[in-house]
Structure 1
């Protein structure tokens, strides 16, 4: 798999699909403690006809490196990769923390973002009581229990337990320092008062049962976007793996319009 050295980290990425004639490239950015394989269904579908780029953020998946302390720094990593690949314009698709990164890129580089898709993401991190308690407990309980509590509550009721256990194992393999610094970066993230500056078409897709980043917070954000479409799916926070076919079907008409 290709890798790129960026500011003390080695980023692993995939660059698939035709280079010519397929439309503006798609760039997929995963969320906290996840990896680029969250986008397996979408990558397999879209790379048949257009260029698709996805990466493991530093310290996640098969990428190396210590954590970043701000979403802006994580966005800088993504832009370093896109510059390396020579992508001048692209459609950004971000899930959860990846959506925060994508919004940051859209604000910093509006001339390069063709369209924006935010999946189970928000513009201002607001903690529910339960989320606040988890954060407070993060330094008091064993690391694996902290990660497990966060991941288990990310899925809608009825999602297969063995699949959840698989994602718990994968998330717990992310280095503690990366997990906690990225958690802090999300806690400090707030661009709600600036999203009106993002003038490109935006698609907001959210799980109805998402208790990590609740639907009400996404709808508050949606009102601030000048040109936004909203789609609600019967899923939890991990929509790319809970309902991969449905998400791909929602993305298809939006991204192919670019």
Structure 2
């Protein structure tokens, strides 16, 4: 498995596990999507190692960060802020994927001028129509994941469930993901993160996060799951509208599926480098 030095950082009465690589004048912090941790950025970080100090981490409850009680999106945002205060107390660029974008946008309200740039990779804004029926969708997903959680203790089945990840990530990264994320404990925490999103959406719609006052790039992926083309097109339109609403926002389509950091790591790295610059 991959072997990258890391350390445990205390945040708000719990802990997160942090890895730091690269070197440069302006740090970059990465916030993973739901069900993922620090390892999901493994294809991107080597491309930026000569440009910036890079910080990836596991949210509380995930992988090497150890157990935690149920946490909401606001809790995770507070953890992100506390972690950056301990690890990169000055200015930095923030890169977030999927559910991590909800965490990053709440955290941006607290970071103020420390946030020099924000990259949102396939992050759905709260206006997206997919959230109109999110309660039902999340309940269906949870039922499937409950079965996956029970069966993931059998390693051949865990490898079967994670086949899409195996095809996208480097072999050593996949082995680490298999050992940390595709386990009963890992799947259980992914279910908890989905519940956190379900609870957060009404709050986001009632009180959207304040727009980040820094250059912001919003990436939309163009490859839709089969049968979801219309929903996907609507999501991309709302991502574009969100970018247009920002003081300094830019929207861009990327030829990729949802895990854009694995399918198009050079694009994610290039757009991050622009924010660094």
TM-score (norm 1): 0.79
| Cα displacement (A) at 1:139 | 5.0
Residue 192 (structure 2) pairs with residue 181 (structure 1): yes
1:154 equivalent in structure 2: none
Aligned equivalents of 2:220 and 2:243: distance in 1? 11
Match of 1:11 in 2: 16
| 1:15-30 alignment, distance < 5 Å | 15-18=20-23, 22-30=24-32
Alignment partner of 1:111 out of 110, 113, 117? 113
Q: Distance in 1 between matches of 2:264 and 2:20?
A: 24
What is the deviation of 1:113? Answer: 0.6
Q: Look up the match of 1:172.
A: 182
Cα RMSD of the aligned pairs, angstroms, is: 3.3
Q: 1:239 & 1:13 partners in 2: Cα distance?
A: 22
What corresponds to 2:156 in structure 1? none
Task: Kindly provide the CA deviation profile for residues 103-131 of structure 1, in whole angstroms up to 9, marking residues without a partner as x.
Answer: 11112222211111101102316536886
Q: Is the 8 A contact 2:138 2:195 kept in 1?
A: no
Q: Which moved more, 1:29-38 or 1:212-221?
A: 212-221
Unmatched tracts of structure 2, length 5 or more: 1-5, 152-162, 226-230
Query: 1:238 aligned to 2:273?
Result: no
**Cα distance in structure 2, aligned partners of 1:38 and 1:163:** 13
Unaligned runs of 5+ in 1: 149-158
Matches within 5 A, 1:1-258: 1-18=6-23, 22-66=24-68, 68-124=70-126, 126-127=129-130, 133-138=136-141, 140-141=143-144, 143-145=146-148, 162-163=166-167, 169=178, 171-173=181-183, 174-187=185-198, 188-189=200-201, 191=204, 194=208, 197-210=211-224, 214-252=235-273, 254-257=274-277
Q: What is the CA distance between 1:138 and its match in structure 2? A: 4.2
How far did residue 92 of structure 1 move?
0.6
Separation in 2, partners of 1:110, 1:183: 27
Deviation at 1:198, TM superposition (A): 1.9
Counterpart of 2:64 in 1: which secondary structure?
A: coil
Is the Cα contact below 8 Å between 1:29 and 1:98 reproduced in 2? Answer: yes
Deviations 1:73-116 (A, max 9, x none): 10111122111124221111111111111111112222211111
Q: Which has the higher helix share?
A: 2
CA distance in 2 between partners of 1:161 and 1:182 (Å):
19
Instruction: Give how far 1:171 is off.
Output: 4.2
Q: TM-score, normalization: structure 2? A: 0.74
Q: Quick check: 24-33 or 223-232, which moved more? A: 223-232
Quote the offset at 1:41 in angstroms: 2.6
Question: How many residues are paired up?
Answer: 244
